[in-house]
Amino acid sequence: MRSYYFDDLPGDQPLPHDSTRPVSEETLTALGVLYTRVPVDAEGRWEDRVNDIATERAYCNHDVMSISKEGLGDEFEATMKMFYEEHLHEDEEIIYILEGSGFFDVREHATDAWVRMHLEAGDMMVLPAGIYHRFTLDMGNKTRTMRLFKDEPKKAHPRGGEADVNPSRVEYLKSFPGITSVA
């Protein structure tokens, strides 16, 4: 996994948009984003490790999404647009890349800048509840991703309005020093 600040320049969303300003794993951890590497192997040892992580974090559900133009056909553009819309979830979410690669962007709370993470097969990321984020494929244009959930997947809340005062967002913001309430 490689992480850096998004350059905010015009261009297709699957382009790297690399500002050349790296973001450290410590910065990601401060945002509540956790990263680990679980290499995908033919022997299936990755499954045992993912199951161990799911048990440690009290996850009981998962799904596997295969995203490609070939696989989604006419729904591809609409699906990619939906995933790229800035949103939050009310629960923590684990993402594990089984095949292919893509970009997850998260909002840095203090600056509102996008932090872009390029994930490839074997990369696992934990997003905290209440963090604004989005996803897009990279130029490889395909991925197979496992998402793990504590319960059933909950709907995404687009940024703004009700999402800004959603209890999961409020709790996320309170995790930062000096923030005691959200207006």
What residues form the annotated binding site? 87, 89, 93, 133
- The span from the CA of 30 to the CA of 134, in Å, is 19
Binding-site residue numbers for Ni(2+) are 87, 89, 93, 133
Do residues 20 and 4 make contact, with C-beta atoms less than 8 angstroms apart? Answer: yes
Binding-site residue numbers for Fe(2+) are 87, 89, 93, 133
Dihedral sign from CA coordinates of 56, 61, 66, 67: negative
Do residues 65 and 95 make contact, with C-beta atoms less than 8 angstroms apart? Answer: no
Do residues 92 and 149 make contact, with C-beta atoms less than 8 angstroms apart? Answer: no
Do residues 142 and 2 make contact, with C-beta atoms less than 8 angstroms apart? Answer: no
Nearest to 23 by CA among 95, 115, 101, 136: 115
